[in-house]
Structure 1
Amino acid sequence: MTVTASTEVTYHFVLTLQTDDGSTVTDDGTIPVQPGTHTRAQVLNAVRAGMLQRFGLTGCSVLFFSLAPDQL
């Protein structure tokens, strides 16, 4: 598969956060990414922000982050 800068690729992520009270929360899913446009750090920040909002968290530490193309 040839990927150009304008081709959107679906990536699968797994993210585990430790909350301010010491508990952990893990989420996974897919996210569309444009190679050459988005960076790994931007994807992490977007996924983390979504988790903070979804779980009603105000702060966290990243314990684990995995990001890989979803296509096998």
Structure 2
Amino acid sequence: MDKDTVSIYFVRAALAHLAPEALPAVLRAAGIPAEMLAHRQARVPARASRRCGWPSRTSSTTNSSASTRAA
């Protein structure tokens, strides 16, 4: 079992830009059952959420550092 998890809220936010017909394939590739999207308190492994387009903590930290230096 993965100890790092992400709220389904963030997964839904990452998937919001997808065309509806693409959603099943992305969820399948990430290993997230579509039914989980309906559970407000659900959590998914962080690894699965990154497969849905949500950035990893490392990449978001790197991006914010770069923008701070550029300013």
Q: TM-score range by the shorter chain?
A: under 0.3
TM-score (norm 1): 0.27
